Amino acid sequence: MLFLVRMDVHIPHEMPAERAAEIKAREKAYAQALQHDGRWRHLWRVVGEYANYSVFDVAGNDELHELLSQLPLFPCMTLQVTPLAQHPSAIA
């Protein structure tokens, strides 16, 4: 199943810079591992915001929830999840 996920990140201002850098490094490694295994199909930055749109290809709701909740930045995120279906006019 395909899901479009918007992730808005809100790192607390009181978080020490070193801690934030460590979390961001773990987030990058985790995101890249999921991209390499094909479950995180697309990752697009939202210009001018600390946010992204991503497309996940997973078995279902439970797998997506598990992947998202394991993101190191998950406690600092607001997420919007939209299930996707093939459009009848799409050529691909």
Tokens standing for residue 22? 């460590």
The amino acid present at 13, given as its one-letter code, is H
Q: Which of 4, 6, 21 is nearest to 51 (CA)?
A: 6
At the topology level, CATH places domain 2-84 in Alpha-Beta Plaits (3.30.70)
User: 38 is written with which tokens?
Assistant: 């094909």
Of 71, 10, 64, 47, nearest to 55 (Cα)?
64
Q: pTM of the predicted model, to two decimals?
A: 0.94
Going residue by residue through the chain, which has 92 residues, state the pLDDT in tens, using 9 for 90 and above.
999 999 999 999 999 999 999 999 999 999 999 999 999 999 999 999 999 999 999 999 999 999 999 999 999 999 999 999 999 999 97
Domain regions of the chain by residue span: 2-84
| The pair of three-digit structure tokens given for residue 75, joined into one six-digit string | 């406690």
